Amino acid sequence: MTSGPAVRWNNNIHYHRRILDAVPAGARTALDVGTGNGLLAAELHQRVPEVTAVDPDATVLASARTEDEGVRWVQGDVLTYPFPPASFDVVASVAALHHLPDLDRALARLAELTAPGGVVAVVGLARSSRPLDALYDVAGLVQQRRYRRRYGIWEHSAPMVWPPPHTYAAVRRSAARVLPGAAWSRLPMWRYSLVWRKPPPA
């Protein structure tokens, strides 16, 4: 891995730990969906021997490749790229699912690619629609200012979609439909997390 700044921080990097903590013991393969600049894929590769990272944007992938030459970098759309079903012990995504308008289809695809006993781990963005969301937004603003004073903000070069097309409530309903039993958390700094373990073979 190439060396970079001592600390790179932004709202997405802050929550990488949510993904890394969900990696099951003994995981051998991982897929980073919408890898962007590749920071999560490189961190996953420190824990998982075989990591594939997919993104449709060729320019941002050129940047990602400098993070870790041992990751398999793939340009493509996760919904249509011919990954074999059930081929990854970990299917992870940070700040990418809001780029995919059909959330049910996107979550179903992540589940399809996950091996039995494996994990889907997502940190995503959504849109506030309820009073409780506003409280998280205020808390997130305070938290972000504190971290920004300490670390600054590392600016990624991946394409952005704002505002997100889905509300937090819609994401939670979609997860309940497609990934029954998934653990859902609303997070400060305009994020949510979603962790689902695919049932092992009977």
Give every residue of the chain whose pLDDT is below 50, as ranges. 1-5
Q: Is the residue at 193 inside a domain?
A: yes
What tokens were used for 76?
Answer: 């493509």
Distance of CA 198 to the CA centre of its chain: 17
What local confidence, expressed as pLDDT, does residue 2 receive? 38
CA torsion through residues 141, 147, 148, 152, sign: negative
The backbone region for 86, taken as left when phi is positive above 0, alpha when psi lies in -120 to 50, beta otherwise, is left
**Domain total in the chain:** 1
Per-residue model confidence as pLDDT tens digits over 88-145: 999 999 999 998 989 999 999 999 999 999 999 999 999 999 988 888 888 888 888 8
Cis peptide before 188 (omega within 30 of 0): no
Residue range(s) defining the domain that contains residue 28? 11-127+157-197
Q: Is the residue at 100 inside a domain?
A: yes
Q: Is the residue at 54 inside a domain?
A: yes
What local confidence, expressed as pLDDT, does residue 6 receive? 58
DSSP string, 18-36: HHHHHPPTT--EEEEET-T
Pairing of strands 88-94, 72-75: unpaired
- pTM, to two decimals: 0.91
Q: What is the CATH number of the domain that holds 30?
A: 3.40.50.150
What local confidence, expressed as pLDDT, does residue 166 receive? 93
